[in-house]
Structure 1
């Protein structure tokens, strides 16, 4: 999706395989995480859920976490969507949306992941996801604000997320440009 200018331009699939239009999140601060059920970082689900509940309590209409299960790293999320959903809810009480299993790298990567990686490359300009539980912070304007490696614990992100929650929504690049002359 070469013409995409913001996070809101994408429609990844939800847990039932239906389009999940990200435009429905316009004006929210969103933490996007590629997740896995059988990874050394899987216990981060507990921290993510705590972070979500804490921030959602104080900003109920302004913050969301989106999980994107991925099986590209050591086959650490081999289950189908129903199995993944059950695992997240039964083991960690996950209440934030966990979408459909997807690829985050390669020829079949979900377009929103391609856009996020291009918007904020990793260390040394790397435009790929290195492992499960990498995280992207999307601001109210639909732009990537920060990116964290798998090792970043959810609780360490709270201040950055709160800072974004305090920021007023700015118009996106296309809205700021104004209407096109005809």
Structure 2
């Protein structure tokens, strides 16, 4: 059976984000955009990353996946995206290079997320959030209307962090 750790993404800095390097760590994967009404959620994502993952070897791993699939709200280059995220929100969690999260060019990770979560979990806009447990399985997903630092998301994060 395939799990989230079987995938990799090109990184925003030209590197590769190999999810197998995070095996055993919970993941929060988010499709992002810089020019969206939900863009301020980067601040919450950074908060969640700082609180639950950054300083631990087995804590939550947050991964941003920029996409220009919705309203062309991520039009910039990799350097533009990196500068915007750091300058405006202090983003220090890993960011993938711009990816397709729907349609014919969908990246394999989002194909897998779509299959695991079903039709309703398919991103229909920016800032869908996918929570992966320590076994690499999708446990929860959240629409853009649910902020990353909401009680609902943080409770789900704590649950997967505390699981063995």
Whole-angstrom distance in 1 between the partners of 2:53 and 2:59: 8
Shift of 1:58: 7.0
**Residue matched to 2:160:** 164
One of 1, 11, 16 as aligned partner of 1:14: 11
Report the count of equivalent residues.
162
TM-score by length of 1: 0.84
Show structure 2 runs of 5+ residues with no match: none
Aligned-pair CA distance for 1:15: 1.2
Residue of structure 1 equivalent to 2:128: 134
**Cα shift at 1:59:** 4.2
Larger Rg: 1
1:37 & 1:164 partners in 2: Cα distance?
A: 28
Q: Cα RMSD (Å) of the superposition?
A: 1.5
Q: What is the SS of the residue equivalent to 1:46?
A: helix
CA deviation digits over 1:75-134, x for unaligned, max 9?
10100111101100000001101110000001111100010111012xxx3463100000
Instruction: Give the drift of 1:74.
Output: 0.5
Q: Deviations over 1:46-91 (max 9, x none)?
A: 1111111111267453211000000010010100111101100000
5+ residue gaps in structure 1?
A: 169-182
Q: Is the 8 A contact 1:27 1:62 kept in 2?
A: no
Q: TM-score, normalised by structure 2?
A: 0.93
Partners in 1 of 2:50 and 2:79 — Cα distance?
Answer: 23
Counterpart pick for 1:101 among 80, 98, 102: 98
Contact 2:54 2:61 in 1 (8 A): no
Secondary structure of residue in 2 paired with 1:154: coil
Partners of 1:63 and 1:127 lie apart in 2 by: 21
